[in-house]
Structure 1
Amino acid sequence: MAWPELSIEDFPPRRDDEPSSLRQDIIDELSDHFACALNRELLKNPNEKIARQRVLNQFGDPIKIARQLWLEAMKEKIMSQRILTGVSVVMAVCGFIVVGLVWSMMKESQAFNSRMIAQMEEFADRPVPEVRTDSATGEMNQVSFQLFQGKAGGKPAVGFEGKLTKIGDNTDSFTLTEKSNAEGKLDFGKLPWGGYSLNVTAPWGEAYHKSLTVLPGRNYSQSIVCPDVAPVEVPVRFEVQWPEELNSDDWLLLCDFRPRSIDRGASALSRNIGTELWTRPYPNPMDGTWDYPMACLINRENQVFRCPLDQNRRFKQIDHAELEARQSVNMIEGDTYLLPVMYLLNKRDLDELTQLEYQSGGQVSYMVLNQNRNSLSMIIPAHLNLESAGGGFGGSSNVDKTTLIVTNRKIAALNAAAEGDDSAPRYASGIQFANLLKFTAAKGQDNVWKIKLPELSQLKITKEAQQAWGQGSGGGLNFPQGSPGGGQGFF
């Protein structure tokens, strides 16, 4: 009988994925190994029993070895089957969990819908409260204004138009328009609380503006002092203190009062009535109304000439023989006439007055000293005077001092005398005052506008100003003739 004695039944139960010859192959191979080992031992010791025992001691139980070889041959398939079984179990568990969550969410949704339906039925059964429109609700508030003429408590201001605009988004904003009645009352009725903008306009066009806030649950009322009549023309005289070196009838002072915006957009055509500021915008130049002197020429005898302007409010050529001398000139009532720039001219300069601010389509600039004469800067009058300059380069925040500009005929003559002498002083085209000159034209008052001109020696450029200019401009001083956008002046 073959040794060792192995049979197919000594292996674990047969599997469906097991190769059909696996067990027999293991038996044949193992039997061959044991037979070879037994033959080697018999050569050493002819006793067969002892030889078999030595082989068993060396290799171990053949049945266990056969089972181990079978397990190693089937291990990969067994592990794959176990992993697949585990994954299937996990997926089945997850499926049960998902089904449980869905079922739980459905139950919660049903409960929430039930509660919502119950609340809606409860709300539907509640009685509708009565809507109150009085101010006690905090939603609607009485808004009105009492208008007086001339002073607080004066006669009622009748026929003034008021526009009240609710400040908010497109859905919240609205505008109401009312006229003051015989008692001078502007009544806008009951309005929601919030921010508003009020504009009150007199029958002749003067306007008053303010912003206000209506608080919840509180009515709003205010008294406003209005002008009793439209602004009228009042006489204005000039008193100019001239420097001694200009003791000649050939010299004229051009004062430029052309309109420009000042604080909060108010123009020179504004006046205080009580504590309220009323303004009237300047008319369109093409309109032709309110024809008053926007620019005046004054001689050494303080006679005044109206300086005519073109339809764009720009200077134009003037024939001195056609000017009419007056002791005073009529100006529209106003609390703030600004004088940002003046020009010291010779009569011969009048026929070239169009070049005062513009040359060849460009804007003329002038080099001027500051009031302390320690710094130079370039001034562009076209940016300082016209109302269209707005709040940019020549806006109200930019002009805080009056500037006197001297005709280049005079400056050129003074500088020509210093030609060839490097130590001789040079002259700037102008000098700034310490502040911005402002004047008032009021009814029933002696409107005398006083102006003191500096001595021409003040226009000498100091070494300090020359050094500051060189450092600030990146170069030294030069004295070119007037040119658009740069240079020293005109003529």
Structure 2
Amino acid sequence: MLNASETSWPEVVAHAAVAHLPPVRDDEPTTLRRDILDELTDHLACAFRRELLKTKGERERAEHNVRQRFGDPAKVARRLWLDAMKGRLMTQKVLIGTCAALVVASFAFYTLMWQAIASSQERNALLAAQSQAANAQMLAEAQNTNAALLARLEDIGKASAFNDPQWNPVTLRLTSSDGSAPFRSDVIKVVRVAEREQGGKSWEFWPTAEGVVDCGLMQPGKYTIYLETTWGEGCYRSLTVMPGRSIELTISCPTAPPKSIPIDWNIDWPENLASYENYESSWLLVSVGGRLVREFGEDTWTDQDGGRILAFHPDGRMLNLSTVELPADVADLVARSSSIRSFLQDRRGSPPIVEANEIWAGGRYSIGEMAYAEWNKSQGTLSLLQDTSKPAIDFGNDDPGGITGGKLANLLTVTLPEPSFVAPKSEQATWTIKMPSGLIEWAKLRHERQSQAGFGSIDQSALYPLFSRDADAATERGRMPIEAPRPRG
């Protein structure tokens, strides 16, 4: 009988063989490796005992014989493991192969689908292009046919209309005033044709880029043509339509707004006015209007300066009381009367902002009226002297007295139809305005606290504030919010 030391070698060899098996798999039976180890150990042990008996106890020779007959134990163990796992391995390979085949089939299917869609898109694009080309060709042919028909109908209509003396074609051709420059249709705001008789009809037209104004067919009669530029310059032309005659009238138009030049406003103050104690508070208000006339060939274009109210001080300061918008630095001043749209600003001796320092070159300007005013620093008011011989100012209506429409109404004024001033066409203009003697005498009487025949008695109640403000706020900010005139006291 063999002892324990004689049987240990098969177990060692079996354990070593099983150790070379593949890693444990999830689907591998839990007892598979133990069964392989037991079976391999039994076979090795039986073969080893048999060889020991044959070799009469020679251990090394018995081991050698066992290995020769049995083979490599590791290979035997692996073959046993593969025999046991064959079914599961084949199932897994079949599954993997099936999945791979499905992936390849899907890829091939989507490739074929993409090719089919791309081919279909190309065919559709080609068909759409062919359809568009055919439609464009048909549309062009239809347009040409319609244009020919319309032209034919227009020719027939003109011929028949021309044969009718009650309807006559009228065409205006607008040309550039400068022969070297092309006509600019963008400078013409409107072309209006109106019947001369009172209550007659009027029509508005706009020129083409080439300056052609097609007025259509017009009945015999007298008409007035009015053209206006985008900057407000206008031109009037007379038009007489005779029966059975077509009319084509040429009008020269400006290409740019009139030139503006800077102007220095000078007041010829009387010398003795400076001797009065209220000299520092004296202001002269002047209403100035202008008109510009420009001639281009047979056409005369005019524009009107709606009028401006300028306030002059003997120390050279000037205020424009007719500005439409307030400058940004006095934007907090609130206009409280629709008839007074400007501002006064006391910058403690510094020159105020002036917005009346440009006039038209070649324009004719005239002075409409003048008035005398006084500035009261303590009360923060500029007052115009009222003529008590005229009707009292009505402060209850929406348009109270004061500066209205570019004139000084219901106040002590001197009307001056002359002098007029023609601005030069140079780069600088200077206009010296002389105070009329009547206004000088009135100022003297005001300073001397006397009365003047024909103007009534002068007292403090005859002064009305044209602009007023809070005295404390005025001292702090040096500004005057605009306010409608109202009686004081």
TM-score, normalised on structure 2?
0.43
Higher helix fraction (1 or 2): 2
Work out which of the two has the higher radius of gyration on C-alpha atoms and give 1 or 2: 2
